[in-house]
Structure 1
Amino acid sequence: MLRTLHTLSTQRRSWLLLAALALVLDGIALFLQHVLHVEPCNECIYIRAGVLGIALAGVMGALAPSYWPMRLLALTAWVGALGWSLSRVVLLLDLERIVAAGGDASCKRFKGFPDWLPLEQWLPNVFEPRAMCGTVSWTFLGGSVTFWIGIALGGMALLAAAVVVAQVWPNKGRV
């Protein structure tokens, strides 16, 4: 299995599939926002940006997947964006629990994006927070949007871990 994962990580289509999967996740978020009117909070926006980072890692990996330094750079970007997104998911799930228990959650942490990349100004319909953190306005099978993106990113984290291990695991017969 590790040999297969290593081989797949050297193929352009695998990296493009990663980028496409991340774009589908962000597309679902935009569908929820603009069609079902589930407005994003600050943490949702950070998660959305992290998922976009995963898509960019996929594009980066697709540029030269057989060249190991580029593959390593793309893997690093993938794991970094994934870690960022998962940390925001954990924080937001905690805020949802606080609000569900009758507490008050604050969204004052959103400082915007860096001056050199003001996404909330360039694309406000995508990156502008419009809801309070911790408020759950939509559920599917009893889980909030945050819960489901956590499931998706958790699965992606397992895959990323396996791909990383496949890069370094000693494998007889592999050049």
Structure 2
Amino acid sequence: MKWFDQLKGDPVGTIASWQDMRWPWALMTVVCVLLVLIAHYVFQVWLYMAPCEQCVYIRFGFLTMAVGGILCLISPKNLVLKVLGYVFAIAGAIYGLKCSVKLSAIHHAVHSDDPAAMFGMQGCSTDPHYPFDLPLADWAPDWFKPTGDCGYDLAVVPDGTQLSSLQEWFINMYNSSDSWYLIPKWKFMSMAQCCELAFGLMLVILVAMAASFLYVRFKRKTA
């Protein structure tokens, strides 16, 4: 594969060239938006899993990254848009990773048999506080207003709701595990851990791209 040969021959230059293309920014934007849509429409609306405080913060982190991707998509070679895009994308990744780590710690504590695990652990609030005091919970409460408990990820089906057989199967699978897991049978990768992986991976790629861009730019100036 041509791109693999380029990456192997000149990894820094190849990675630096990626940010001048639209595909990496489009990929990041699509992934971030898709994860938020799945969280809202599949888990919250279809499977009745109410989002907790850290969950809505994680949504905000993904959407902040998506804003950064859109800025770079407008003109990938424009330095101003590229810098702004990096600021939004990296800030969103760091913020989302921080919230994911906190949610993972809460999840571990509430599912631990050791009472000491809950020591010093703060509960979830239904009054979220977003960066710059953005009133997202007022603007779009269905998306950014927390209504669930951190660390549980259980489906709470309203009385009288008629479920399809597929809905019932998924709800029973997750509720029997006392939480959401990527593989419920083995309790492998909680929702918080999956978000940690997603934010962490994208942050590493963003930092590698930014560092490669700065290195190549500096090298050209000094050549």
- Paired position in structure 1 for 2:83: 72
Q: Structure 2: which amino acid aligns with 1:15? A: W
What is the DSSP-based 3-state SS (H/G/I as helix, E as strand, rest coil) of the residue aligned with 2:210?
Answer: helix
Q: Structure 2: which amino acid aligns with 1:130? A: T
Asked whether the equivalents of residues 130 and 136 of structure 2 are also in contact (C-alpha less than 8 Å), the reply is: yes
- The Cα of 1:69 is off from its aligned counterpart by 2.6
- Paired position in structure 2 for 1:34: 45
**RMSD (CA atoms):** 2.4
- Paired position in structure 1 for 2:172: none
- Paired position in structure 2 for 1:12: 22
What is the DSSP-based 3-state SS (H/G/I as helix, E as strand, rest coil) of the residue aligned with 2:81?
Answer: helix
TM-score, normalised relative to structure 1 = 0.88
- Paired position in structure 2 for 1:122: 139
Q: Structure 2: which amino acid aligns with 1:118? A: P
Sequence identity percentage? 25
- The Cα of 1:46 is off from its aligned counterpart by 0.5
Q: Structure 2: which amino acid aligns with 1:21? A: V
| Unpaired segments ≥5 residues, structure 1 | none
1:90 aligns to 2:101 (yes or no) = yes
| Unpaired segments ≥5 residues, structure 2 | 1-10, 155-179
- Paired position in structure 1 for 2:65: 54
Q: Structure 2: which amino acid aligns with 1:129? A: P
Task: Pick closer, same or farther for the CA change 1:44–1:80 going to 2, 3 Å.
Answer: same
- Paired position in structure 1 for 2:211: 165
- Paired position in structure 1 for 2:35: 25
Cα deviations across residues 48-67 of structure 1 (Å, max 9, x unaligned)?
01100010010011122102
Between 1:137-146 and 1:57-66, the stretch displaced more is 137-146
- The Cα of 1:172 is off from its aligned counterpart by 9.9
Asked whether the equivalents of residues 86 and 150 of structure 1 are also in contact (C-alpha less than 8 Å), the reply is: yes
Question: Looking at CA atoms only, which structure, 1 or 2, has the larger radius of gyration?
Answer: 2
Asked whether the equivalents of residues 128 and 137 of structure 2 are also in contact (C-alpha less than 8 Å), the reply is: no
- The Cα of 1:90 is off from its aligned counterpart by 0.7
Asked whether the equivalents of residues 22 and 51 of structure 1 are also in contact (C-alpha less than 8 Å), the reply is: yes
TM-score, normalised relative to structure 2 = 0.70
